[in-house]
A = this chain, B = another copy of it.
Amino acid sequence: MTIAFLGPAATFTDLAVRKAFPTEDRTPCLTIPRCMDLVVAGEVDLAVVPLENALEGTVNLTIDYLYHEANLTIIGEIIAPIQQHLMVHPDHAKRWKEVEKILSHPHAIAQCHKFLHNQFPHTRCEQSTSTAAAAQFISEHPEYRYAAIGNALSAESYQLVIAKENIHDYTFNHTRFIILSKGENRQIDLPLKKTQDKTTIMVTLPTDNPGALHQVLSAFAWRHINLSKIESRPLKTGLGNYFFIIDIGQKMDEVLLPSAFKEMEALGCKVTVIGSYSSYLI
């Protein structure tokens, strides 16, 4: 089996894929749409991409591409802790406090805001396309006295020295990654701790019914179906037009969820089941 993931090698996505699929082939892709396109085209079996971070929120590109472009199914979810380290080229290991610039993905920079503010108040931070790309740049440019922020795998992969461990501001930070497949029936069982079952749907409300969202939530509430998340995204048809992503805290059943979805459709909603799957914790 081949798995496309948001690369390059040694990103947090790569880290999640290595834990979830230790013996499968991995194909790094430079963008989230590219990962999904490869599954749609049948060139790989699965794709793993980030969906949501506890601090930064939803990865809009993942949601938007799933809604507008790629007809794929979520067959599993991996929740991984995010630990950021400061790393430098071995040539600068002893004098790492004197780095002139710090490179990383904007989210990683934001996640280490307090550390950077206290330890490197006058050092410029520069955005890279991923934490792994920052590590790669450092490894290829020993002539610059730069540092990167990233995970332990990227330090190891690019032979960098971790100058300071765990520099992230909040210890509870996690990222949700989703596993995408073509077709609905693929089952996977990962060598990780299974925590809960979920069903994710996307709902577009009728434009002529301002109370429709309340009706949708009522359809779940009276059945005592728990929702773990509800989020709106623009439909890209004009300001004020949204679709909703709803995470339901159980797997698809034979009666309750199908009935709720049918009622929502009868109210004029468009309901798409994006997946019914298990969530795993690294």
Contact = CB atoms under 8 A, between A and B. Distances in A.
Contact of A231 (B127, B214, B221, B231): B231
A56 B234 contact: yes
B239 A54 contact: yes
Nearest to A52: B239
Given A213-B217, A214-B218, A229-B242, A234 B176 contact: no
Nearest to A172: B238
Number of copies: 2
A136 to B, nearest CB: 19
Contacts of A52: 234, 239
Interface residues of A, number: 37
Interface in A25-68: 52-57, 60
A86 B233 CA distance: 28
Given A220-B214, A221-B211, A55 B236 contact: yes
Contacts of A240: 228-229
A218 B220 CA distance: 13
A213 B236 contact: no
A174 interface: yes
A187 interface: no
Contacts of A57: 60, 233-234
A210 B232 contact: no
A226 interface: yes
A260 interface: no
A79 interface: yes
Contacts of A56: 60, 234
Interface of A: 52-57, 60, 79, 127, 170, 172, 174, 176, 210-211, 213-214, 217-218, 220-221, 226-234, 236-240, 242, 249
28 contacts: A52-B234, A52-B239, A53-B234, A54-B238, A55-B234, A55-B236, A57-B60, A79-B239, A127-B127, A172-B237, A172-B238, A172-B239, A174-B238, A174-B239, A176-B239, A210-B226, A210-B227, A213-B227, A213-B230, A214-B214, A214-B218, A214-B220, A214-B221, A229-B240, A229-B242, A230-B232, A231-B232, A232-B232
